[in-house]
Amino acid sequence: MISSIRLYFLGTGGSWPTPQRNTLSVGVRINDEAILFDCGETAQTSLMKSSLSLMRIKKIFITHFHGDHFLGLPGLIQTMSFYGRTEPLEIYGPIGASTVLGNLLSIGYYSLNFEMRIEELKGSGSIDFGDYSVAYAKASHTIPALCYALTEKDYAKLEESKIKELKVPRNLLEKIRKEGSARVNGKTINIEDISAGIRRGRKISYSGDTRRDESLLDLFKNSTVLIHESTGDKTNQSKVISYGHSTGKDAGIQARDSNTKKLILVHFSPRYNDIKPIVDEAKSIFPNVTAAEELMEMEVNIND
């Protein structure tokens, strides 16, 4: 069972870093394990400055192989090894991932003490990790790229009065959750017998780099949090789109049309000294917008 889901904005900037913003990387802590979406340069240093230990990271999902989304990997991996990691690390990415990451790990003089498991994701799909799944779909970008959505499994809300009435021992509750039923004093108790409805699992969607595209609404649908790129605003809209990106307005539309609860904007073009025009555009379409800041952390609240 997942209790806490917490977001860590390790890098929030666009195609290259500035003194104010590093390139993109977002950590998600799910109970005791963590995953990363993208891993821009300096992600390891941001992790060290955050409250998320880099040793908790089990899986890294790369959206695509533009440098600002993955050049923090070799340094992070090397430091994990210096820290004494022996546990395997899973890295997921779009078509080409095996080649790119294979090349990346063959440069220089690594001597890693742990195994890298690289998985190349093709088309769209979903990977089941037990308490949560990660779905992926094709982004609309200039090179092969993915968007991701992490979804917590739906969760039965238990009813204390029914548990007591049926005398179900506490130590069987997780078993009934997982398997749907258990034998108690010679009788079968089903999850429905002790629950009062379903708590919908939290969902965190992550756009990486993409133009606004209706085909992504299914992936983003009913997100608790949608972390969406917003490279520019209406003043440079045609350029933004031609480079495979979204404006603030595009991000707002995707949040609104996917029935998202909260939109968090990232990947602001480094050409903007002031991102207010981008954020205002998104807010003109969708009310609940936050502009990510470096090292911002945020608890993802349980859905009602």
How big is the site for a second copy, counted in residues (CB under 8 A)?
35
- In the complex with a second copy, which residue's Cβ is closer, 71 or 298? 71
Rounded distance, CA 147 to CA 126, Å?
A: 12
H helices within the chain, ranges in order?
43-49, 73-82, 97-106, 160-165, 173-179, 191-194, 217-220, 237-242, 248-257, 276-285
Rounded distance, CA 137 to CA 228, Å?
A: 14
Q: Is 297 in the site for a second copy (CB under 8 A)?
A: no
Among this protein's residues, is 250 annotated catalytic? no
Joined together, the tokens standing for residue 270 give 């480094």
Least Å distance, CB 36 to a second copy, is 16
Q: Letter for the amino acid at 268?
A: F
Mode of pairing for the β-strands spanning 116-120 and 89-93: parallel
Least Å distance, CB 38 to a second copy, is 13
Least Å distance, CB 45 to a second copy, is 5
Of 27, 72, 94, 201, which one interacts with a second copy (CB under 8 A)? 72
Q: Letter for the amino acid at 195?
A: S
Task: Tell me the CB-side half-sphere exposure of residue 29, using CA atoms within 13 A.
Answer: 20
- Residue list 83-142, contact with a second copy (CB under 8 A): 100, 103-104, 106-110
Of 75-83, 126-134, 216-224, 235-243: span binding a second copy (CB under 8 A): 75-83
Q: Which residue of the set 38, 68, 209, 250 is catalytic?
A: 68
Per CB under 8 A, residues contacting a second copy are 15-19, 22-23, 41-42, 44-45, 48-49, 64-68, 70-72, 74-75, 78-79, 82, 100, 103-104, 106-110, 143
